[in-house]
A and B are shown apart, each in its own frame.
Chain A
Amino acid sequence: MEHMGVEPGRLSFSWISSAESTKFVDVVKEVTATVKALGPNINFKKTAKVA
C-alpha cells in the first residue's frame, strides 16, 4: 500500500485478545490519533459515484 502512495498509517493492524479490553481502548485511541493526524482521505476516495 505504502509503496503505491497510500499514506502510511491509513491502514493499521493489531492483535488483541478478547480479554484485553484496556489494550483495545488504547489501540482505538492510537489509531484514531494517527488517522486524525493524516487528515481526511482525499487521494483514494472515489469522488464520482459508482455508475
Chain B
Amino acid sequence: MLGYIDNIREISKRLLDEGRVDMIIGFRKGTIPLMNEPCFVKNSGELSTLVWDSNCGINLANYLTDRKEKIGIVAKGCDSRNIVTHIIENKIKREKLVIIGIPCKGMVDKRKIAGMFENGIEDITEEDNIIRVKSRGVETSLNKSDLLQENCALCVHRNPVIYDELAAPLIEEQKSVDRYADVLRIEAMTAQEKWEYFKDLISPCIRCYACRNACPLCYCPTCFVDESRPQWCGKSQDEIDTRTFHFLRAYHCAGRCTDCGACERACPVGIKVRQFTSKLNKDCLDMFGWEAGLSPDQRPPLDTYKPADPGDFIK
C-alpha cells in the first residue's frame, strides 16, 4: 500500500494544477504513531504532507457533508460507499467531487498493536505485509494480516465502488469470509442473555459520542441526544440512557451503514460498537438484499416500497 503515496500525490497535483478541485482531502502523518489524521490540501506545495499507509482508518466521507467547494477526495472501499450514501442523501453533489479511489488492503487495529507494547510505540513502519514497530529502541516485525481491524478482516468491498482516478490497480476482493459470525452467535442467545451481553458491552461507555462524531452517517444538525425538549434520552451514564443512545444510533444507521469501523476505531474505551450496527446490516442483506452505498442510482430499502417487502411482523 505504500506505493500508493506517489500516485496519490501525483494525481492530486494534477487535479490542483488543472484547477479541477479546490482542495484535496486526504491523510497526513499524525503527531503520534498509528494515528494518521485527515488533512485538507489546498495548494500543490503542501502535497508532500499527504501519506497513505495502514493507519488511515478514519472515514473521510465524514468531511464532505454539505460542502460547496470542488473537492478531490482520497477514498478507500468503505469511504467510497459512504460517498455514494452522501450522494443519495443529497449531502454532496457528484459533480463537485473527484474521487481518488484506493483499493484498500485493510487498516490495522491500533488498539491491538498498542496493547502489545507496554512501553509505548515510538515509530511504526510497514512494508507489504510486514509491520515494524519500534518500542524503546527495540524493533519488532509483525504480520499485518494478524493485526487488521475486525471490519477490515471481514471486508468484501475493498475496491472503491465509485471513482474518477485510481491510485493503484484494483485488487481481488476477499471471498468466503464469514461476515456475520458475531451476529449469529448473539442471535442464538435468549432474551436475557442478550440483555446481559449488551449490558457488559456498553458498561464502559462514557457517552463521549466519539462514535457518533466519527461516523459519516451522523450529520443531523441536532443529534437526538442533544435535544432537551423533549429529552429523548438522559445525558448521564445511566445504563438505560446509554443503551437507548446506542440503540437509536444503530437504528439511524439501518440500511446506511457501510461497516467502515470508524465508530469502533474512535471509541476511547474500546467498545465494539459495530455489534449494534452489524445486526442491522445483516438484516438489510437478508430481507432486502441490500448493502449500503453500492450504487448511486438505487434508493435504499427504507425509503422505497416493494410488494415483496417482508411484513410478517405486522398483525
Assess whether B279 is in contact with A3, with CB atoms less than 8 Å apart. yes
Instruction: Give the interface SS of chain B, mostly helix, strand, loop or mixed.
Output: helix
Which of A7, A15, A46 lies in contact with B241, CB distance below 8 A? A46
Q: Shortest distance in angstroms between A9's beta carbon and chain B's nearest beta carbon?
A: 10
Query: Does B198 sit at the interface, judged by CB under 8 A?
Result: yes
Q: How large is the interface on A (under 10, 10 to 19, 20 to 34, 35 or more residues)?
A: 20 to 34
Known contacts A5-B195, A46-B241; A15 and B314 CB within 8 A of each other: yes
Give Cα A7–Cα B241 distance, bound, in whole angstroms: 18
B313: interface (CB < 8 Å): yes
Cα A8 to Cα B146 with chains together (Å): 38
CB-CB under 8 A from B195, the residues of chain A are: 4-6, 43
Q: How far is the CA of A46 from the CA of B240 in the complex (A)?
A: 6
Q: In chain B between 181 and 225, which residues have their CB closer than 8 angstroms to a CB of chain A?
A: 183, 186-187, 191-199
Q: Which of B42-50, B71-79, B231-239, B293-301 is the interface stretch?
A: B231-239
Contact A45 B191 (CB under 8 A): no
A sample of 15 cross-chain residue pairs with beta-carbon separation below 8 angstroms, ordered by A number, consists of A3-B183, A3-B279, A4-B194, A4-B276, A5-B195, A5-B198, A13-B313, A15-B314, A15-B315, A27-B315, A44-B240, A46-B238, A50-B234, A51-B234, A51-B236
Residues of B within 8 A of A (CB): 183, 186-187, 191-199, 231, 234, 236, 238, 240-241, 243, 247, 276, 279, 313-315
- Give A contacts to B, CB under 8 Å: 1-8, 12-15, 27, 30, 43-46, 48, 50-51
